Each structure stands twice: as structure tokens, then as C-alpha cells.
Amino acid sequence: MSGVASVPTRSTPAQPAPGTSGRVRADIQGLRAVAVSLVLLYHLWPLRLTGGYVGVDVFFVISGFLITAHLLAAPPAGLRDLLVFWSRRVRRLLPASLLVLACTAAATWAFAPQTQWGNVADQVRAAALYYVNWALASDSVDYLAAENAPSPVQHFWSLSVEEQFYLGWPIVVALLFALAAVVRRRGPAARPVVIAGLGVVVAASLSWSVWLTHVSPASAYFNTFTRIWELGAGGLLAAALSQRAFGRQVGEHEGLPLPDGVRTVLSWAGFAAMAVAAVVYTSATPFPGWTAALPVLGAVLVLAADAPQRGLSPTRVLGTRPVQWLGDVSYSVYLWHWPLIVLVPLVTDRPLERLDKLLILAATLVLAGLTKAHVEDRFRTPRWGRPLVKPYALGVAGMAVVVALALALGAAFTQAQEDAERQLAERIGSGDPCFGAAALDRDDCAPVPGDEIVPAPARALEDKSDAYGRGCWEYVPFGGMRTCAFGVRRSETTVALVGNSHAGQWLPALQELARAERFRIETYLASECTPSTTPVEFDTVADADGCLGWAQRVQQALLDDPPDLLVLSARNGRAARGLAYDDSLERWRVGYTEFLAPLVDAGVRVLTIHDTPFPASTVGSIPDCLAANLDDLTACDGRARDWVPPDPLVEATESFERRTARTVDLTDRFCRRGTCPAVIGGVVVYFDGSHVTATYNATVAPYLRSALLTALDR
């Protein structure tokens, strides 16, 4: 998913926000309502509001503004002041968030397929300890992890960013005031020092955001340091305008000292900037980087204007009771909406329909109202803050409970995997003639019940080739050329396996053959990168160029030390540069041909394996589907015409018309009579929505043997 908003600290409409002039700012509550509406509508109808994820940036600005105004009004002078500040954040944020995490973990256990327990358990634990944004940043650059089903708690990433901000920002403010004291600047005289210091932090974060979004946009999205500038922008505004900062007097409003009409125009301009971003931006927009400046600037304009609640001002509409109520409960709306969106389809066993979405919307508002009244407000009363150790003790206890739930969920997943491992070992050693791919040769093989398939869905997720455990992959930005050796290491016959993950999935079959035919396997594998001269669309041009460089290095290595046989396979997962995916077939074919031509001319023997079916085109993750349909495994099957892709690498190989350049199509080991089963001979075929399990791939080895030996000229 691309962007969810976490809601900052806020007060009820009956109380002033911390650090403000003592009056209720209806525009801030209204701005919260707008921001949470953007996020909610984006998640329910992503194709209708493609840039609704910018609500996160609006919330970040509000958080930075209010928290900085509070800190500047009463700068922390020591450890106790910091502890008091943090204790308020604990009381304000943890009770509701931990409640939602606990409920989500329990609902996942009850309704989600077993295959999702491990990932959700990890993220619940990370969310409870406020580092889930870093976990998601790591997963976002992991090709296989990126294919995981959406977690019902991944929206906590932005709350983690804010908590990390709340931890560090008060220390920065305290240090700046200490520095001002050293240079003998106190009261209003401290203002230039503080503003300059905060400005340095904001500038550094913005620079890092622009750079990292350019070179690694996937991880940049969740990175704390690429987001600090957005909160800091609100903080700088607070330093410039807050009435109580630096000992200034409280005035009629906190906005710029401009006429009401000008402030009204500025406020409308701010909302217009946010609206443009919400409508124009898409998941393809590089973000955060420079593009985040538009919604950030919009939020800053609204806060700076502090438009009057009269005339044509937007605050007149935002000040109405329903909008103010939505702004007041926006934190709980944010917490509840995403778990419902993810879990409801698992309960109903179908994608969300219009009525489902409306019911989720209604349920979110009801749960948010109840949580606000009975959880948020209850723990914000003074008695929960005294003595100072109390909120910390309760916070640690609550986090411990949620972490324990996550560990229990993870332990259940681990136990399921261990049970599946034992079951798999028994089946592999049984000598069953109907086991795996061999079942497609017979009509007397009885269907295997869902509870007896191997590897069991929970175990299938990790049933990958040894190339993963050995770290044999080159990843973005493709700066090197990793190789690994398998099979009979001292054999005089070498088979080179080249390609991306759809080549690496053939390693188990080649290992079976290597043991029998006594040859050595050398792998040249790169995640998502193909052995081609065609540049394809990556997140950055540098990554695309890096992929081309990897292909050139592999080609040269094979020319310098030719193998006895070059085995290739690849999935074309990315469009050719400048073309739509569906229009890229010919460009891919040309790129493969140009890669192979020098090798074929040099006499290198080539065997290209046709790409395997692609279940993600209709079903998604096969283990997830099977776990949810153990009583009807055929629900996870697909049609060959939908799953079997065209293969330009095969076309390129066949274009040479030489005996040294051969191809083999083993689609008949994956599909039969127009149907591609998810389970064949009692074996789960795929460990996600694309890649073949190591167990099933090994059963295909006998059917690859003839083509391999022919290509070797044995």
C-alpha cells in the first residue's frame, strides 16, 4: 500500500491544543478531519482518490506544529521535564494503539489463514515497540517479502515515525535552548538560535529525503529521516508564530498578522494544494522527496493563516459540529480502519464490495467514537499521570501484553511449520509413484486431502531453493556479480544457471540431476533483473543501469570461462523503458537475443527453460489461498491461458536455429488439459504467487533430464 496517516496528539474541542493561545482552533480540528478522510477514502477506494495517502503528510505537519509550540512554551530544562513530556505521549497514544493491536492479533489468529500468522506476528511486535516503519522499509526492498499479503497493522508505520519524532525532538529543542543560554540569549532573544537549529535539522532531512527517494524510493517511503522535515516544517511554523513561544503575549489569533480576507485566501490556497496532490498523485509518484512539499506546504498555509470562522473562510465549514467530531476522533479512525479493510475479506471470503466498504466505514466511526470516549479520554486524566512512574509502568505492561500475543501467534506459526516439515520428510521418503509431477502421467492418482498436502501452506512459504539460504542473489543496485557453486564441486562438467528468481527456482531440479549425472552448477542470479541488453523500468534510472551492468558482467564472465552448458530462465516482471508492460514483448526479445548472440557465436551451449505459470495474475499467493480453502483445493487452480506467459527468452534462443541453442517447455508438468493446479500429486506447486516450491521443482527433474543431457551432447 502507498501511505497511511498517523494522527498526532490533539485535544478535545472543549480544550485548547497544547502550546496554543488558549482558544480552540477549529481549523486544526477541521484539518485533521480532512486528512483522515483522505486516508480513509484512499484505502477504501484507491482508484478514485489515487493520492489520498498525502493525508500522512498533513498529519505530520500538524504534529510538528502543536508539539513544537508546546515545547517552546515550556522548554524542557532537564531530564524530569523530558520524562513528563514523554509520559503525556504515553498516556495519549499507547492505550488506544495497544488496544487495536491486541484486537488485531486476536482477529488474525481467528480469521486469517495460517500462512499470514508469522508476518502479522512480526509486525504486531514491531508496531507495539514502535519500529515497524523500519521493518517495512526493509521488506519494501526485499522482492519476495514485497509480495506478502498486506498486514492489518502495517499502517502503524507512520505512528512509529511520530513516536520516534516525539522521542528525539524535545531533546533537540532542549539542546538549542541550552546553546542559546551559553551565548547569553534568553527569552525572545533565544528565537534566532532555536529557529536556526530547527532549520538545519529540517534542511538536512529534506536533502536526505530527496536523495533517498531518488535512489531507493521503496525504503525512503518508510524512513524516519526522510519524514522528519515534514514534522519539522510544522515546528518551524510554530517557532515563528506560536503566541506562547519565547515569552510572547497571546493575541487574538496565531496566524500571520494579515487582514482576515488575506488569511482566508491563504487557507483556501492551502486546501487547494492538498486537493491537487490527493487527486493528481498516484502510487507511481516518487514520494516523499520534493513531491511531498505540495501537501506539506498546503498544511503549513492553513496553519499559518489561522483563518477566521466567518465569511467565506473554509474554517466556517470546518467548524461545524460533524467535522469537528471527526477531527476529534481521527486518531481512533486511523487506528481501526485498516485492520477492518484487511480482515473483513478474510471473514467474508470474498473481495470487498460496495456494501462491505460502507459497513467498514460505519464500523470505523462507531469504534472510533467508543475508543475516544472510553480509552483515549480516560487515560488522559491527571490521575493516570501521577506519580510519574505510573504511565511508564502501565505503558510497559500494555506493550508486554501485546508483544506476548505476537509471540504466541508467531509460536503457533512456527509449530505449524515444524509439523509440516516432519510431514514433508515422511512423504518424500515414501516412494509414492503419485508424488509431485509424476502424478500428471497417471489417471489413477487419487486427490490428496487438504490436510495432507506437502509442504503444508505454512511451510510452503519457506520452501525455496538453496540459492536463498546461501545468499546467491545480486540485488539492487546490482553493483556486483555474486556466484555460488552447487552439485559435484570437482566435476569437470560445469552447468551455469543464469537469470532472475525464475531461474533460481530451477536449482532444486538441477541439483537432483547433478547428483546423478555428476556435474557442477554455478549460479549467476539477480533478483528482478534479466540477462538482457534491454533497459527496463526500475524505481530509479541507476537501478535500471545497474541491471544492464550486471548482465554485461555475466556475459563477459561466461565468455572468459565458458561453461559446458548455459541454462537460462527468466520472468519479465518489468516493462521495457518507455513502453507499457503489454507492449514490451518485442523489446525484451531483442534484448535477450543481443545478450545471447556473442555466447552462441563463441560456441557456448544454451538451454532455455520456458517460464513457469504465474498464479498471481488471478489467484495471488497460492499458500494463502490453500490455507483458506483446504476443503476445496481446486479453488486455487487457474487456467493455462491466464497463467502461462509468453516467453521472449525462448523466442530469442530459438531464433539462432543452431543445435547448440535449445529450449525446453515443461508447462505440461504444471498444467494439464488447460488447467494449472495449485497442488499436483499432493505437493504445493508455488511458495507465493509466482515461484515454484523447491519440493515440487525437484519432482520435475526427471522431465528436465533428457533436454539437459541432449543440450550437453551426452
Q: Are residues 513 and 393 in the same domain?
A: no
CB neighbours of residue 320 within 10 Å: 12
| pLDDT tens digits, one per residue of 239-278 | 888 666 665 544 455 677 888 899 899 999 999 999 999 9
Q: Is 661 helix (H, G, I), strand (E, B) or coil?
A: strand
Query: Do the Cβ atoms of 534 and 596 come closer than 8 Å?
Result: no
What is the arithmetic mean of pLDDT over 605-626? 93
Cell numbers given for 441 = 502421467
What average pLDDT is seen over the chain? Answer: 88
What does the pLDDT read at residue 18?
A: 40
CATH code for the domain of 481: 3.40.50
What is the arithmetic mean of pLDDT over 118-141? 89
What does the pLDDT read at residue 3?
A: 37
Tell me, yes or no, whether 545 lies in a domain. yes
Identify which of 498, 660, 655 has the alpha carbon closest to the alpha carbon of residue 589. 655
Q: Are residues 493 and 441 in the same domain?
A: no
Interacting residues of 189 by C-beta distance below 8 A, sequence separation 6+: 180
Query: Do the Cβ atoms of 466 and 493 come closer than 8 Å?
Result: no
Residue 320 has pLDDT above 60, yes or no: yes
Look at the chain and report how many structural domains it folds into: 3
What does the pLDDT read at residue 21?
A: 46
What does the pLDDT read at residue 23?
A: 59
Tell me, yes or no, whether 560 lies in a domain. yes
Q: Are residues 370 and 448 in the same domain?
A: no
What does the pLDDT read at residue 667?
A: 95
SS3 of 345-387 = HHHHCCCCCHHHHHHHHHHHHHHHHHHHHHHHHHHCCHHHHCC
Greater model confidence, 15 or 57: 57
Going by DSSP bridges, is the β-strand pair 520-526/494-499 parallel, antiparallel, or unpaired? parallel
Distance CA 379, CA 392 (A): 12
Q: Are residues 600 and 625 in the same domain?
A: no
Long-range interactions of 310-313: CB distance < 8 A, separation 24+: 310/260, 311/260, 311/261, 311/264, 312/264, 313/260, 313/263, 313/264, 313/267
Percent of the chain with pLDDT over 90: 62
Phi and psi, residue 553, nearest 5°: -65, -40
Q: Are residues 232 and 162 in the same domain?
A: yes
Q: Could you say which DSSP state residue 595 is in? A: H
Q: Is 574 helix (H, G, I), strand (E, B) or coil?
A: coil
Cell numbers given for 569 = 530462465
Q: Are residues 97 and 199 in the same domain?
A: yes
Residue with cell string 494544494: 273
Query: Do the Cβ atoms of 683 and 693 come closer than 8 Å?
Result: yes
Distance CA 300, CA 241 (A): 11
What does the pLDDT read at residue 450?
A: 87
| pLDDT tens digits, one per residue of 23-78 | 568 889 999 999 999 999 999 999 899 999 999 999 999 999 999 988 988 888 88
In which band, very low, low, confident or very high, does the pLDDT at 294 lie, cut at 50, 70 and 90?
Answer: very high
What residues form DSSP beta bridges with 523? 484, 497
What does the pLDDT read at residue 338?
A: 95
In which band, very low, low, confident or very high, does the pLDDT at 405 lie, cut at 50, 70 and 90?
Answer: very high
Tell me, yes or no, whether 624 lies in a domain. yes
Q: Are residues 603 and 671 in the same domain?
A: no
First to last CA, the chain: 51
Q: Are residues 652 and 640 in the same domain?
A: no
Q: Are residues 507 and 391 in the same domain?
A: no
What is the arithmetic mean of pLDDT over 597-602? 94
SS3 of 153-193 = CHHHHHHHHHHHHHHHHHHHHHHHHHHHHHCCCCHHHHHHH
Tell me, yes or no, whether 439 lies in a domain. yes
Distance CA 504, CA 694 (A): 10
Query: Do the Cβ atoms of 712 and 605 come closer than 8 Å?
Result: yes
Q: Are residues 289 and 157 in the same domain?
A: yes
Distance CA 405, CA 125 (A): 9
Handedness of CA 159, 163, 165, 169 (dihedral sign): positive
Long-range interactions of 643-646: CB distance < 8 A, separation 24+: 643/613, 643/614, 643/615, 643/617, 643/618, 643/671, 643/676, 644/613, 644/614, 644/671, 644/676, 645/571, 645/572, 645/611, 645/613, 645/614, 646/585
Phi and psi, residue 201, nearest 5°: -65, -45
In Å, what is the CA distance from 676 to each residue of 495, 569, 643, 680, 690? 29, 19, 8, 9, 13
Tell me, yes or no, whether 706 lies in a domain. no
What is the arithmetic mean of pLDDT over 645-668? 92
Q: Are residues 134 and 258 in the same domain?
A: yes
What is the arithmetic mean of pLDDT over 274-292? 93
What does the pLDDT read at residue 251?
A: 47
Tell me, yes or no, whether 620 lies in a domain. yes
Q: Are residues 390 and 286 in the same domain?
A: yes
What does the pLDDT read at residue 180?
A: 81
Q: Could you say which DSSP state residue 576 is in? A: B
Domain interval for residue 453? 432-462+615-644+666-694
Query: Do the Cβ atoms of 513 and 540 come closer than 8 Å?
Result: no
Tell me, yes or no, whether 216 lies in a domain. yes
Tell me, yes or no, whether 12 lies in a domain. no
| pLDDT tens digits, one per residue of 454-508 | 888 888 888 999 998 888 999 888 888 999 999 888 898 999 999 999 999 999 9
Distance CA 34, CA 210 (A): 26
